[in-house]
Amino acid sequence: MAVHNMQDNTAGILTKRSGFRRRLQEIYFLPVVIEDNGYPPKSSTGTLTIRVCGCELDGSLLTCSAEAIFLPVGLSTGALIAILLCIVILLVIVVLYMGLRRQKKKETLMSSKEDIRDNVIHYDDEGGGEEDTHAFDMGTLRNPKVVKENLYRRDIKPETQRVPRPPVSQDSSDIRDFINQRLKEHDTDNSAPPYDSLATYAYEGDGSVAESLSSIESLAVDFEEDYDYLSDWGPRFKTLAGIFGE
C-alpha cells in the first residue's frame, strides 16, 4: 500500500489486490470502509467501481471496453408492477374517453336516412324549376277532376320566311329611324321566341265547394251602394265619405 499525492490538496492510496479476472467479469464493485480511532469511532462507506482491462507486460493499456453501468434505483419489484398498472389504467381511460366523445359527435349529426321519427324531415331534394319533371311527381299536383287526357304541351315554331332587311346606310345620321325600323321588324317577326304553345287551364270553381267567384265582381259592378250616410257620422269619417263618393 502506498500514498500518492494528487497535487490538488488530495492524496490517493495505491494498493494491489488480486482476484479480479477479466475472463469472469469485467466490472467489479468493491466496498471501501474508512474508520477513525475516535470514541465512539466514526466511519464512512463507499463503493468503488473497478473495471478490469487488458494490459501488456510493461503496464501499457491494451484493451478496455467501456460499457454503461446501471446502478440499482432502489425500487422493488412490487413498486415497478404498481407503476406499470397505473400507466395501463390511464391509457385505458384515455381510450374510452376518446371513443365516447366520437360516438356523441356521430349521434348529434342527423345524417341517418333511416331515422323515421315524426319531428325529423330531410329536405335534401332540390329541383331544377318547372322544366325539371323528374325530381317530383306531377300526379300529386294535378286535380283528377279537371285534367283531361291526351293534352300535351307542344311548342310549335312557325315556319315563316324572314323578310330580307334593307341595308343600313353607314352615313345615316337619324338613329331614331334606325331603332324604330329594327323594332318594327322584331315585332312583326313570328319566328322569334317565345313560340305559341298549347296550355291547359282548369275551369274556375270546378271541384270547389264555393264554386265560381265571378258573381262577386258582377254584383259589385251592377249594384252601386249609397255612401252618403258616412257624412252623418262626423268629421272623422269625412275623408272616407269623400273616397266612396268618388
pLDDT, position 185: 84
* Residue whose C-alpha cell is 337619324: 174
Q: 105 in helix, strand or coil?
A: helix
How would you write the pLDDT of the chain (246 residues) with one tens digit per residue?
Answer: 576 787 888 877 776 767 777 777 778 888 888 888 888 888 888 888 877 777 777 767 666 765 544 545 566 788 889 999 999 999 999 999 998 888 877 655 555 555 555 566 655 556 556 666 666 666 666 666 655 555 555 666 656 566 566 665 555 557 888 888 888 887 787 776 666 666 666 666 666 666 666 666 555 555 566 777 777 888 888 888 888 776
pLDDT, position 169: 56
Would you say 51 and 21 are in contact if contact means Cβ atoms under 8 Å apart? no
Closest CA to 189 of 147, 157, 145: 157
C-alpha dihedral over 57, 59, 65, 70, to 10 degrees?
130
Residue ranges per domain, the chain?
2-63, 72-105
Which residues are bridge partners to 5 per DSSP?
11
User: Which backbone phi and psi does 47 adopt, to 5 degrees?
Assistant: -110, 125
**Residue 185: how many CB atoms within 10 A of its CB?**
14
The dihedral through the CA atoms of 27, 30, 31, 33 has a sign that is negative
The pairing of strands 61-63 and 54-55 is antiparallel
pLDDT, position 84: 93
C-alpha dihedral over 15, 19, 25, 29, to 10 degrees?
-50
**CA angle 33–35–40, rounded 5-degree value:** 135
Q: How far apart are CA 107 and CA 42, in angstroms?
A: 74
pLDDT, position 88: 94
pLDDT, position 56: 77
pLDDT, position 23: 73
pLDDT, position 89: 95
Would you say 228 and 245 are in contact if contact means Cβ atoms under 8 Å apart? yes
